[in-house]
């Protein structure tokens, strides 16, 4: 079967390779072009994924290639600019990596740009395609653990990095229940960045959901790392970590362990492939409410921004959030969260090619 959809990939780093594997293994898609400002990275990607057309300017790629699908795989501060620019060329779908953007205002701009150009916007929370996550969602909807009362997620390496998956899981597990309020605390003694933007050294947040449940997100506090959550209900509990699931119910003793039908790995497994197929089904109208659409990505982004905003203004923050700028940036620049141990550092600098470093504009 010949592929139906022409795919173009913007940026060719580590996560672009995961996107590439998804598109390459989906029978409906063909990566026809990629763009990156770094010639060496571009050539390596093109060779590994058999991409015939390469560009140093992603706008030139958009102009010439008549793409159906665009993967935005750049560093976080570029997501909004590249998504808005790509939307102007009206592909069918834009898949932008997580986190959606680095401020709520940027996220809203991305959604607006895609809506006005009739482009579907997907966000790369590909773990929503984990079979264990989907089974957890089904069990909770069926009342297996009763009413969810508490959810706890512990992460490392930044709330805006791994934490976005944990927050996204909490909503997904409860059938995308919206959050109503957030209260957060942030520690940032060093000038800490990740993927080119400010992040905290540590943080924690309480999330009040519309169904009455309370979620917890913590980063670099307990030392525990789970891309999922511990969930406590009125009739049982559930433990979801990565693509694994076990649960207890009131009518059966001991842990019940979910056995994935497709025997996926505990890492990414086939999530990027399932994501690719899911996007194709969305294009073709086989699903109306795509599980990783832009509005759902924005919901996770808004909660993260609300954690920062609560730390900035010292109060419980009601949603929808009114502050469109990144509250952590505002707090640092206002002196509310001062850097006490100076020295700009980015924990993903090791991903930058050549002799440059990640704070240098041309290297991003």
Domain presence at residue 362: no
Do 73 and 135 reside in the same domain of the chain? Answer: no
Q: Determine the Cα–Cα distance for residues 206 and 187; give it in Å rounded to an integer.
A: 15
Residue 222 contacts by C-beta under 8 Å, 6 or more apart in sequence?
Answer: 154
> What do you get for the CA distance between the two ends of the chain, in Å?
38
**Residue range 310-348, pLDDT digits in tens:** 999 999 999 999 999 999 999 999 999 999 999 999 988
Do 144 and 116 reside in the same domain of the chain? Answer: no
Do 92 and 227 reside in the same domain of the chain? Answer: no
Whose CA is closest to 159, among 131, 185, 190, 122?
A: 185
Residue 11 contacts by C-beta under 8 Å, 6 or more apart in sequence?
Answer: 35, 36, 72, 73, 74, 75, 78
Whose CA is closest to 324, among 159, 108, 112, 96?
A: 108
Structural domain harbouring 254? 131-262+299-345
Tokens read off for 80: 């909004």
- Dihedrals phi, psi of 321, to nearest 5 degrees: -70, 135
Is the Cβ–Cβ distance between 166 and 172 less than 8 Å?
Answer: no
Do 74 and 9 reside in the same domain of the chain? Answer: yes
Q: Determine the Cα–Cα distance for residues 254 and 252; give it in Å rounded to an integer.
A: 7
Domain presence at residue 351: no
Give the per-residue pLDDT at 201: 97
Q: Position of tokens 């999922």?
A: 228
Number of domains forming the structure of the chain: 2
**Residue range 28-69, pLDDT digits in tens:** 999 999 999 999 999 999 999 999 999 999 999 999 999 999
16-20, 251-255, 306-310: least confidently modelled range: 251-255
Q: Determine the Cα–Cα distance for residues 119 and 358; give it in Å rounded to an integer.
A: 31
Is the Cβ–Cβ distance between 228 and 241 less than 8 Å?
Answer: yes
**Residue range 84-110, pLDDT digits in tens:** 999 999 999 999 999 999 999 999 999
| CATH (domain of 258) | 3.30.360.10
| CATH (domain of 76) | 3.40.50.720
Do 117 and 157 reside in the same domain of the chain? Answer: no
């Amino acid at each position: 079967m010949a592929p139906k959809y022409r795919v173009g990939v913007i940026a060719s780093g580590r996560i672009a390779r995961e996107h590439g594997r998804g598109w390459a293994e989906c029978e409906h898609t063909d990566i026809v072009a990629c763009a990156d400002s770094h010639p060496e990275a571009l050539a390596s990607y093109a060779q590994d994924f058999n991409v015939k057309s390469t560009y140093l300017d992603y706008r030139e790629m958009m102009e010439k290639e008549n793409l159906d699908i665009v993967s935005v795989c750049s560093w976080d501060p570029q997501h909004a600019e590249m998504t808005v620019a790509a939307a102007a060329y009206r592909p069918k779908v834009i898949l932008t990596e997580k986190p959606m953007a680095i401020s709520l205002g940027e996220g809203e701009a991305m959604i607006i740009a895609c809506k006005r150009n009739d482009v579907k916007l997907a966000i790369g929370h590909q773990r929503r395609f984990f079979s264990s996550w989907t089974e957890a969602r089904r069990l909770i909807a069926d009342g297996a653990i009763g009413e969810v009362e508490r959810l706890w997620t512990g992460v490392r390496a930044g709330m805006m990095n791994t934490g976005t998956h944990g927050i996204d899981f909490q909503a997904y597990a409860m059938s995308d229940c919206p959050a109503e309020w957030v209260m957060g605390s942030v520690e940032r003694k060093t000038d800490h960045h990740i993927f080119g933007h400010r992040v905290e050294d540590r943080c924690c947040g309480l999330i009040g959901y519309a169904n009455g449940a309370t979620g917890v997100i913590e980063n670099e506090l307990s030392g525990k790392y789970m891309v999922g959550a511990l969930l406590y209900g009125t009739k049982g509990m559930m433990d979801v970590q990565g693509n694994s699931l076990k649960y207890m119910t009131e009518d059966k003793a001991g842990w019940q362990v979910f056995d994935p039908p497709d025997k996926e790995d505990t890492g990414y497994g086939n999530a990027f492939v399932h994501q690719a197929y899911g996007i194709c089904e969305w294009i073709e109208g086989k699903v109306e409410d795509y599980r990783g659409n832009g509005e759902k990505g924005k919901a996770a982004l808004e909660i993260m921004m609300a954690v920062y905003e609560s730390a900035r203004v010292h109060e419980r923050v009601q949603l929808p959030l009114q502050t469109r700028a990144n509250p952590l940036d505002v707090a640092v620049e206002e002196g509310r969260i001062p850097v006490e141990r100076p020295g700009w550092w980015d924990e993903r600098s090791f991903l930058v090619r050549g002799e440059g470093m990640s704070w240098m504009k041309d290297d991003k």
